[in-house]
Amino acid sequence: MKNGMMCEEKNRVIEVCRDKGNFLLLSHVSADGDAIGSMLALGLSLRRAGKNVIMVNPDGVPLVYRFLPGWEKIRSKGEQISAGELAALEVIITLDTANEERLGAWSWVLAEVPALIVNIDHHLTNSKYGHINWIEKASSTGEMVFHLLAGLGWEVTVDTALSIYTAIVTDTGSFRFDNTTSETHLCAAELLEKGVDPAQVTEYVFASRPVEAAKLLGRALDSLELSPDGKIAYLTITNSSLRDTGAARENINGIVNYAREIAGVYVGILFEETEDNKVKVSLRSDSRVDVSKIAQRFGGGGHSRAAGCRVQGSLSNVKKAVLETVAAALAGRDAVCRGF
């Protein structure tokens, strides 16, 4: 670990995991492989160490991650936490969650439960809402959990390794994105040594798309639009495209990359209509624009090349505002541009 202060925060997390007995683990809405994988890796390791652990994801576990051992132990929005469980809680650990709003229907827990809040995350835009904030530039929160378990001297079982590997593979786009470092590969190598089968993970995560999801992808690609200079590509998914295809909202994950991967495109955007009259905006970029700054301007956050936000307003108004901001950044009229 290069950063001394972060090392101190990590050491505090190690102490808490070792000394406390009653934990609630939470990760963000619209869960991805890192939200689920990092939670299972830490949660099941804490349980093996004899701790009481409740794991919650506000939207539940997407179908695609239901091959991970123990996924059924994760509670979702429909399930309540009993008064007795709440009273016993000593520690709330949030994973991969850049701000409290990302806990959706469970964000009240942070405000109302007098427990120690431990915030473990690799989003540098993290708002540091915890008592302990271990925020670090890592490929994934899963990779941080790997180092945490090493610090605790706890065994990484093959099941734990599978969860962490899945977290890393999904957040790095199969080791293709710029958050992939030599550290990431060293970590992955150790996970393979523990018995993870990478081809099997690929099959489960990337080659098990429901036919409804393929149809939704078709609708999304049909909606493709480009800015006049061809540098911004954007896709739109309306509530009716979900209804017509029968696809689930979780099937939208990853579609934004098709916009970004078009030749000559610097910024790819997906506009998604939501049920609560907001527009979810997902942004992907190459090195020219820090899209986390654009997302932050609209109340969201993320990473420099992958970020998002939820904006109140009609699809057309939100599109206009976001496209103007991105265009200004690309034209160099804005601080979010890195000077290309």
Q: For binding to Mn ion (CB under 5 A), which residues are involved?
A: 34, 96, 140, 171
State how far the Cα of 298 lies from the Cα of 324, in Å rounded to an integer. Answer: 12
Q: Find the shortest distance in angstroms from Cβ 100 to Mn ion.
A: 17
**Residue 171: CB minimum distance to Mn ion, A:** 5
Q: How far is the CB of 229 from Mn ion (least distance, A)?
A: 32
Query: d(Cα 277, Cα 68) in Å, to the nearest integer?
Result: 33
Which residue, 28 or 231, is less far from Mn ion as judged by CB?
28
Whole-angstrom distance, CA of residue 141 vs CA of residue 121: 6
Give the burial class of 303: count Cβ atoms within 10 A of its Cβ; 0-12 exposed, 13-18 middle, 19 or more buried: buried
* Residue 169 vs 281, nearer CB to Mn ion: 169
Q: How far is the CB of 307 from Mn ion (least distance, A)?
A: 12
Whether 326 and 294 have beta carbons less than 8 Å apart is answered as yes
- Cα 167 to Cα 188: distance, rounded to the nearest angstrom: 11
The residue among 39 and 326 lying less far from Mn ion, judged by its C-beta, is 39
* Bridge partner list, 95: 27, 120
Q: Which is nearer to Mn ion, 97 or 251 (CB)?
A: 97
Q: Which of residues 135 and 216 has its CB atom nearest to Mn ion in the complex?
A: 135
In the bound state, the residue with its beta carbon closest to Mn ion is: 34
Q: Nearest approach, Cβ of 13 to Mn ion (angstroms)? A: 17
* CA separation for the pair 339, 57 (Å, rounded): 39
